[in-house]
Structure 1
Amino acid sequence: MAQVNRRSVLGGIAATSALMATGSSRSATAAQRAPKIALETVLARAESAKRRGTKYALYAEPPSERLAAWPRGHNADCSGFVGWCVGLPRTPRQIGVGTKLGTDQIYKDATADKALFTRIDAPEIGDIVLYPNYQIAPGVEGTPGHVALITAVRVDGSYDTIECASTPFHKTGDAIAFDRADTIFRGHAIELTRIRKAYPNLPADKVRDPIFARYLGLVR
């Protein structure tokens, strides 16, 4: 069996307030930087959401980013949950005033703006995997986007995640789930290949590949 390379959650939930300082208010540039957060803190925050009876609700406001642990029974969606894990509010100023942090916004930021996230080729623990929204054609049902936090990376490149999703919520009443997300990633890529063959004239921005991304404020 391939060895799992896991980072321990140091100090438990009591230590999750470490390294969450924001940029200096004296500088406009510093004020726009991604707030710093330690990897151990991100993982501890994610762990705190286990078995808390989280309810899935699209576009729901996550808990305050100042909370160190996830409250029981809170509403959330995938991007709200991942954003909370890295210490971000639902509407971080770095991506635009009043703009909610969602799958499309994370994708755009990671691939273009790079204010909070940047695209990477090979993920490490604490990075995210992101499946963008796409719409094949007007009137044709597309697929909703999804994002998950990577919690373990194996020597063969496969990985585990923690995520907030509607499927586990409908099955178990708890939206927080653990997955072999690399299998989903590969399945998504295969499906996109099929779609591109079936619709050869699709604009590139209609069908986008899943990507890995890293939060720029992450301290390892």
Structure 2
Amino acid sequence: MQVEAVLARAESATELGIRYRLGKGGMNPGSPTPAAGGFCDCSGFVAWCFSMSRKSNENFYKHFNGGWMDTTAIWTDVGNSVGIFSELTGPKAGAIVVYPDANGKQGHIGIMVNENKVVHCSGGNDKRHGNAILITGPDVFLARKDVRFGWLNGLN
């Protein structure tokens, strides 16, 4: 898979009026949008952008949490390079940016469009703009000390 194809797929889902709902979307990589019934969450969106289902058969994910690609599993994979992602030292186009669930709050994940922009699906985007999937600055991620940047193995 090429970075340009991932970014084009991600950008094609912006401004469609997709609403945020935790645990939704990203199950059918062949779907024209990441939404399930008009709803999606951040990890479902990212899985769809990479043409994967958020339910993985990859060994690390199967052992970590039954195969689910959620923010904490992906964050753990990135930090240990034990699954399908490797850790990067900083942002670049096509990289994921992720932080885990912590203190009773959900984690979050997006895809870097460039060093200053990220495309992501969030409840905040949904509440403020009526679209859960938008391209924004990376501030929500960079404000976190536990943020990690990752690269999908095999992405060119």
Q: TM-score, normalised by structure 2?
A: 0.87
Q: Is the 8 A contact 2:124 2:132 kept in 1?
A: yes
Name the Cα RMSD after superposition: 1.9
1:168 to 120, 125, 128: 125
Q: 1:214 to 1:53 in 2, by over 3 A?
A: same
Output aligned runs, 1:4-153, within 5 Å: 37-62=1-26, 64-67=28-31, 69-70=32-33, 74-94=38-58, 95-96=61-62, 98-135=66-103, 142-153=104-115
Q: Answer whether contact 1:91 1:100 (CA < 8 A) is retained.
A: yes
Go from structure 1 to structure 2 and tell me whether the alpha carbon gap of 1:161 and 1:109 turns closer, same or farther (over 3 Å shift): same
Q: For each residue in 1:173-220, what CA deviation from the matched residue of structure 2 results, as whole angstroms up to 9, or x when unmatched?
A: 210122110x3334223xxxxxxxxxxxxxxxxxxx11111111312x
Query: Residue 110 of structure 1: CA displacement?
Result: 1.3
Judged with a 3 Å threshold, the aligned counterparts in structure 2 of structure 1 residues 103 and 120 are, in CA distance, closer, same or farther, namely same
Aligned to 2:143: 187
Q: 1:71 to 1:133 in 2, by over 3 A?
A: closer
Q: Provide Cα deviations, 1:157-180, integer angstroms capped at 9, x if missing partner.
A: xx2011000012122221012211
Partner of 1:7: none
Q: Which has the larger radius of gyration?
A: 1
Q: Which residue number corresponds to residue 153 of structure 2?
A: 216
The runs of at least 4 aligned residues of structure 1 exceeding 4 Å deviation read none
Distance 1:100 1:118, change over 3 A: same
Contact (CA 8 Å) 2:87, 2:151: kept in 1 or not?
yes
Gaps of 5+ in 2: none
CA displacement, residues 62-98 of structure 1 (integer Å, 9 cap, x when unaligned): 252123x326763110011011101110111112174
DSSP-derived class of the 1:218 partner? coil
Partners of 1:44 and 1:213 lie apart in 2 by 19
Say if 1:217 and 1:160 are closer, same or farther in 2 by CA, change over 3 A.
same
Q: Percent identity?
A: 30
Does the CA contact (< 8 Å) of 2:71 and 2:108 recur in 1?
Answer: yes
Q: How many residues align?
A: 151
Tell me, yes or no, if the aligned pair for 1:54 and 1:174 is still in contact at 8 Å.
Answer: yes
